[in-house]
Amino acid sequence: MNEPFPETKTHRYQYDYPRPAVTVDIILFVFQEDQLRVLLIKRANDPFKAKWALPGGFIGENEDLYDAALRELKEETNVSNVYLEQLYTVGKPDRDPRTRVITVAYFALLSAEEVAQQEVHGASDAGEARWWDIYDLPELAFDHQAILDYALQRLRWKLEWTALGFLLLPSEFTLSELQRVYETILHEPLDKRNFRRKVLAAGVIEPTGNMRAGDHRPARLYRFTATAVEMEQARRRFP
Amino acid sequence: MNEPFPETKTHRYQYDYPRPAVTVDIILFVFQEDQLRVLLIKRANDPFKAKWALPGGFIGENEDLYDAALRELKEETNVSNVYLEQLYTVGKPDRDPRTRVITVAYFALLSAEEVAQQEVHGASDAGEARWWDIYDLPELAFDHQAILDYALQRLRWKLEWTALGFLLLPSEFTLSELQRVYETILHEPLDKRNFRRKVLAAGVIEPTGNMRAGDHRPARLYRFTATAVEMEQARRRFP
DNA sequence: CCAAAAGTGTTATGCTTACACCCATGC
DNA sequence: GCATGGGTGTAAGCATAACACTTTTGG
């Protein structure tokens, strides 16, 4: 073996002009225990050691941005069936004190069913990972608070104009559960009758015929319709 | 002088991991002669030699993405007073055959007044530059057609939900002129009375008191209100 | 039988749409 | 006086918002 560099040295990539490092960070939203939560990872190293940060990492040499986000998500949370949408690209020169980093932020929605199936805690090699209530966050590393604020803004907006709410729920859900998702994300109470009329009129959900037995009167279960899913799939990607 | 490399060789920038090149490209819209137009530059070199491409270039080593877009715009068109908004980031590994390039696309709106003041043709050192009717475009280099399609979609959407139309007009304009902007961008005819009622009710424009003398009955001139401009300024930036 | 959540209709209001004619000016 | 674009109102239909009681179950 005739390595060009000794083993203790890393390989060097050389370019004629300076290049920034490019990462993807992911804002992964879930709805658990009547809370809207995001996944954060406690940083093991400086800078911002012991602060919480969005999961993410460097893009591969021959990897599409979307694929990189999927891969990071898979590495961190072991989920693959997820709604993923590009959010924004940040690139202030000093946002990472080590080197120039440009970050393409994605936001992701994970259904409750998949959250239950996955073991997310400690899944990261970057440090401790846990879910945080969006309305009770710790101090965040880098400019991640601003990215998260923007993600929440976009999520709210999409909720009002598209039919994204059910992506955070299991495949069968009651209208009250759906309403709680909306109320939690929008952070305001909604009128029950108007909510039901509106969501039913939109034609994005249909009754499954099943009922959810509970402590009290059983509730009709709904699923989202195939066309609603397709519409979101079509909208989510560039262009 | 003890240069580490001979003059004929460029300096080398070295990193431990591969890094993509990062560029900003700009979709610059103007409204001229009842057409919605974009600025394109004819490529002088391969790849895609003699094809038309969006103006853009590499980000500086210590330059914010937004600033890079502003600088490129200034270099290409000599304009600085412009509405600029981040559109999308594309990064398919093979979109540029030479090397891995990630492009942050911005879209920009230039008022008619400024277009008139600037000399845009030939302003680019990258080759011939000219305005193209958005509905009669040449074949484009790279994935620029897809980026442009997306920019147009976003422009239409913003036009319906915000009050962006007047950014393409001179500071004083008639309601008919404003309506023509909307009709051209949305690519559909609008009802004159409804259009006027709606735009006036929105409170984003106000009469200046002046009249435009023309071939026929003079038309009232309007300006957009200070609050409307501020609202757009506030909305445009991340977060 | 009581607590708790599910479910259900009507009215008033404002917004959107469709639609046709007179007005002021230059030539 | 005529051609050209500027300017104006109304009625119908539709979506939204406000609002309170009955139903079904488990304990």
Measuring CA to CA, which residue among B121, B141, B211 is closest to residue B172?
B211
- Is the pLDDT score of B239 beyond 60? no
With CA of B192 and C1' of each nucleotide, the nearest comes out as: D7
Residue of A nearest to B154 (CA): A239
Percent of chain B with pLDDT over 90: 67
Q: Which residues contact B209 (CB under 8 A, 6 or more apart)?
A: B221
Task: Tell the residue number behind the tokens 């103007």, with chain if given.
Answer: B30
What pLDDT score does A232 carry? Answer: 66
| Distance separating alpha carbons of residues A72 and A53, to the nearest angstrom | 14
Chain centroid to Cα B175, Å, comes to: 23
What pLDDT score does A114 carry? Answer: 81
A153 contacts in chain B (CB < 8 Å):
239
Find out if CATH 3.90.79.10 is the number for domain B21-156: yes
Domain ranges in chain B are 21-156, 162-235
The CATH code that applies to domain A162-235 is 1.10.10.10
- List alpha helices for chain A, DSSP H: 65-77, 112-117, 144-161, 175-186, 192-201, 226-236
- The mean-pLDDT minimum among A221-235, B87-101, B134-148 falls in A221-235
Residue B239 near residue A157, CB atoms below 8 Å: no
Percent of chain B with pLDDT over 70: 87
Asked whether the beta carbons of residue B62 and residue A100 sit closer than 8 angstroms, the reply is: yes
pTM of the model: 0.91
A64 contacts in chain B (CB < 8 Å):
91-93
What pLDDT score does A112 carry? Answer: 82
B231 touches strand D (CB under 7 A): no
Reduced to 3 states, what is the DSSP secondary structure of residue B75?
helix
With CA of B190 and C1' of each nucleotide, the nearest comes out as: C17
A92 touches strand C (CB under 7 A): no
B154-178, pLDDT tens digit by residue? 999 888 887 788 889 999 999 999 9
A162-235 matches A21-156 in CATH topology: no
Split at pLDDT 50, 70, 90, the class of B113 is confident
B177-208, pLDDT tens digit by residue? 999 999 999 999 999 999 999 999 988 899 99
* A90 Cα to chain B: minimum distance (Å): 7
Measuring CA to CA, which residue among A229, A181, A239 is closest to residue A206?
A229
Nearest residue to D24, CA vs C1'?
A217
What pLDDT score does B2 carry? Answer: 40
B21-49, pLDDT tens digit by residue? 999 999 999 999 999 999 999 999 889 99
- Is the pLDDT score of B92 beyond 60? yes
| Distance separating alpha carbons of residues B29 and B36, to the nearest angstrom | 7
What pLDDT score does A62 carry? Answer: 94
Helix, strand, coil tally for chain A in percent (to 5): 30, 30, 40
A215 touches strand D (CB under 7 A): yes
pLDDT in tens, chain A (239 residues): 343 434 445 678 999 999 999 999 999 999 999 999 999 999 999 899 999 999 999 999 999 999 999 999 988 878 888 889 999 999 999 999 999 999 999 999 998 888 777 666 545 555 688 999 999 999 999 999 999 999 999 999 888 887 788 889 999 999 999 999 999 999 999 999 999 999 999 889 999 999 999 889 999 999 988 777 777 665 555 54
Measuring CA to CA, which residue among B22, B21, B26 is closest to residue B147?
B26
